[in-house]
Chains A and B, each alone.
Chain A
Amino acid sequence: DVKVTQSSRYLVKRTGEKVFLECVQDMDHENMFWYRQDPGLGLRLIYFSYDVKMKEKGDIPEGYSVSREKKERFSLILESASTNQTSMYLCASKKGGQAYGYTFGSGTRLTVV
Chain B
Amino acid sequence: DQQVKQNSPSLSVQEGRISILNCDYTNSMFDYFLWYKKYPAEGPTFLISISSIKDKNEDGRFTVFLNKSAKHLSLHIVPSQPGDSAVYFCAASAQYGNKLVFGAGTILRVKS
Contact = CB atoms under 8 A, between A and B. Distances in A.
Contacts of A9: 41
B9 A97 contact: no
B78 to A, nearest CB: 23
Given A40-B9, A48-B98, A100 B32 contact: yes
A48 B99 contact: yes
Contacts of B44: 43, 90, 102, 104
A50 B46 contact: no
A41 B93 CA distance: 18
A105 interface: yes
Interface residues of A, number: 28
B104 A40 contact: yes
Contact of A58 (B93, B96, B99): B99
Interface in A15-44: 31, 33, 35, 40-44
B32 to A, nearest CB: 4
A42 B89 contact: yes
Interface string B59-74: 0000000000000000
B18 to A, nearest CB: 24
A107 B41 contact: yes
A107 B42 contact: yes
Interface residues of B, number: 25
A3 to B, nearest CB: 10
B43 interface: yes
Interface of A: 4, 9, 31, 33, 35, 40-45, 48, 50, 58, 90, 92, 96-107
Given A48-B98, A102-B44, A105-B43, 6 more contacts: A40-B9, A48-B99, A98-B96, A106-B41, A107-B42, A107-B43
26 contacts: A9-B41, A31-B98, A35-B102, A40-B9, A40-B104, A41-B104, A42-B102, A42-B103, A43-B89, A48-B98, A50-B98, A58-B99, A90-B44, A97-B96, A97-B98, A99-B32, A99-B93, A99-B98, A102-B44, A102-B46, A102-B100, A104-B43, A104-B45, A105-B43, A106-B41, A106-B42
